[in-house]
Amino acid sequence: MGLVQALRGFELDMLVLNPAWERETVPGALERLIENIKHLPDQEPDTLDDRKAALYTDLPPPTTLTKSISQYLSRNRARNDASNRAEFLRPTSDTSCARTDAKTLNRDTQMKYDIAKNEDGPLRRTMKRKVSEEKADEAESPALSERIVNVETHLAVHYGMYPTISYPTASQWLAVPSPPASLPTRIQFLEEHIIRLEKEYPPWAALHFNQPRRNASLFLSVA
């Protein structure tokens, strides 16, 4: 068996090394090879980047990604242009530009406004007195300030939102956010508080307050 295989190899070597066989066979084989190469279909050569992307990843090559992104952007641009033309152009104009041939829009319908009632005056919150001026009265007369504070505490005066009558409406509420800065103003506020108690609670005021002219006023009203 080994001698037969050696004989076959020796015969093949003799065939290849035979110059007569080369002169007869090799030229014809080369001609057929050339003809076959000429009839091969032309293929666009792949770039090195394309071959790398195909070998190492499953993603498409960069050229395909660029084309997809460009197509996506063009579709979005076309959709936005159509939306702008439908919203801002007059319907009668076929070919025009929204920047030069814009239609009139009533912008007031998109606005909401409320009327603010400033009970304290327009400059109440924008102007502020200096700290030294606000505390000047209390610094000059601390005893008087303490007496006023005691009266306010006794009368249960609360600074804030309070009604002017027993059943007030929205416009009948007065706002005093903080104690007045000056002592005369605080005294005036206490006087108004006492007057309000006399108006809203006459029996209670007649029992607890000294009202010397009450009998005279009742007599005049009866007469």
Digit-coded pLDDT (tens) for 7-57 = 777 777 766 666 777 788 888 888 998 888 888 777 666 666 666 655 655
**Mean of pLDDT over the chain:** 70
pLDDT of residue 93: 53
The answer to whether residues 159 and 179 touch, using CB atoms and an 8 Å cutoff, is yes
Residue 122 phi, psi dihedral angles, 5° rounding: -70, -25
What six digits make up the tokens of 113?
Answer: 């406004």
Task: Classify residue 186 by burial, with Cβ atoms within 10 Å: 0-12, 13-18, 19+.
Answer: buried
**Local confidence band at 67 (pLDDT 50, 70, 90 cut-offs):** confident
Q: How far is CA 79 from CA 73, 86, 105, in A?
A: 10, 11, 22
What six digits make up the tokens of 5?
Answer: 């295989």
pLDDT of residue 29: 86
pLDDT of residue 76: 93
Distance CA 175, CA 42 (A): 92
Distance CA 108, CA 15 (A): 102
pLDDT of residue 22: 76
Distance CA 175, CA 146 (A): 24
Distance CA 204, CA 216 (A): 18
Q: Three-state SS for 99? A: coil
Amino acid letter, 186? R
Q: Which residue has the higher pLDDT, 92 or 191?
A: 191
Q: Which residue has the higher pLDDT, 145 or 59?
A: 145
Distance CA 159, CA 179 (A): 6
Strands annotated E in the chain: 161-163, 173-175
pLDDT of residue 166: 46
Q: Which residue has the higher pLDDT, 126 or 20?
A: 20
**Local confidence band at 220 (pLDDT 50, 70, 90 cut-offs):** very low
Instruction: Return the top range by mean pLDDT from 1-10, 79-88, 202-211.
Output: 79-88
pLDDT of 135 strictly over 60: no
Eight-class DSSP state of 178:
S
pLDDT of residue 77: 92
**Local confidence band at 91 (pLDDT 50, 70, 90 cut-offs):** low
Residue 161 phi, psi dihedral angles, 5° rounding: -90, 125
The pTM (predicted TM-score) of the whole model is: 0.29
List alpha helices for 89-212, DSSP H: 131-134, 136-140, 142-154, 183-200, 202-208
Distance CA 102, CA 104 (A): 7
pLDDT of 66 strictly over 80: yes
